[in-house]
Amino acid sequence: MNIYSRDNDLILDELCDFDIEDILECGQCFHYEKIGEHDYLVCAGQELLHIRQTRYGNSMGQAVLYDTTEEEYQRIWHNYFDMGTDYGHIKETILAADSRLGSAVAAKPGIRILHQDFFETLISFIISQNKQIPHIRQLIETLSKQYGTKKIKPDGSKGYTFPTPEQLYMVSEEELRKCKVGFRAPYIRDAVEKIYHGELREEHLRKMSVDEARAALMTIKGVGEKVSNCVLLFGLGRADVFPVDVWMKRIMETLYFKKDTGREEIEKFAYAHFGEYAGYAQQYLFYYGRENGLGKS
DNA sequence: GACCAGGGTAACT
DNA sequence: AGTTACCATGGT
């Protein structure tokens, strides 16, 4: 990859394993907006990014990060887009472990696991329970518009950042219910209070083992195995975690087990085969399975 | 109107 | 340890 500035924009050229559409729409992220054929507005924590990716030939082409300095890229987006990770090596490894991933990886070779903001990820996946992705996105947008911070970029694109713990702490359970989060309102309150009062700290969670961190997250009301696994994978950089939801269960049953299979057995299989790259394998499989309606009669 | 959605809890056996 | 009703809300 080549990085260089042009006017106020930053260009990432000769991209490898990078497709902004697949990255954003593969189900890991809920806070973005498609604003053009090749353009996306990404809200990540307290940052906003207008990014445009254009392909040439059969390569992944280049991305323009509008109104972005190289310093900002190195400080924020390099980590956010997981640019320090060698996806070629990951693909090789998980494909060698099990070739049935072949079509999933081939279908969406440009997926990356984002390093998303911890707090936003936690609240987002609490909201995700028993909801469809478009509706999750709608609720995240509502909360951001109501309680987040409005940001306007030099090129005129605007968006609302997800509220910080301090901003959400001021919001009562009743107000949350007015945002249509339903029975999740007390769950969100409990999460916000534990974060706000320092009962759970991101730095601590990052230092713990995965099992310790999961147990800590599950002390929050409304946070169980699946939500905490998503927070670990998408918000705490634990790439070896393999969240199993209703989709992954169906997908794994279709591709691997050919029969009704419990979550524990599915996880055991994933950790044995994909090891430290289980989270990546999960995301290729999830997106592939969902796009193809795998396991749905 | 029944059923399901990137689930979790509480109250049962 | 394993089932089951229920939780708000929106879509099919």
What does the pLDDT profile of chain A (297 residues) look like in tens digits?
Answer: 999 999 999 999 999 999 999 999 999 999 999 999 999 999 999 999 999 999 988 899 999 999 999 999 999 999 999 999 999 999 999 999 999 999 999 999 999 999 999 999 999 999 999 999 999 999 999 999 999 999 999 999 999 999 999 999 999 999 999 999 999 999 999 999 999 999 999 999 999 999 999 999 999 999 999 999 999 999 999 999 999 999 999 999 999 999 999 999 999 999 999 999 999 999 999 999 999 988 776
Amino acid at A25: E
Look up the protein residue whose alpha carbon has the minimum distance to the C1' of C10. A135
Cα distances from A25 to residues A4, A91, A125, A134, in angstroms, run 27, 20, 16, 11
Measured from the CB, is A219 under 7 Å from any atom of strand B? no
CB A251 within 8 A of CB A289: yes
pTM comes to 0.97
Measured from the CB, is A226 under 7 Å from any atom of strand B? yes
* CA to C1' distance (Å), from A7 to B4: 50
CB A238 within 8 A of CB A210: yes
User: How far is Cα A141 from Cα A159, in angstroms, rounded to an integer?
Assistant: 9
Strand C nearby residues, CB < 7 A: A 130-132, 134-135, 177, 180, 182-183
CB A114 within 8 A of CB A81: yes
* CA to C1' distance (Å), from A118 to C3: 34
Measured from the CB, is A53 under 7 Å from any atom of strand B? no
Measured from the CB, is A215 under 7 Å from any atom of strand B? no
pLDDT in the model for residue A297: 61
CB A64 within 8 A of CB A10: yes
Smallest CA–C1' separation from A125, nucleotide: B6
- Give residues with Cβ within 8 angstroms of A114, minimum separation 6: A23, A28, A29, A44, A80, A81, A82, A234
Look up the protein residue whose alpha carbon has the minimum distance to the C1' of B5. A131
- The protein footprint on chain C, as nucleotides within 7 A of a CB, is 7-11
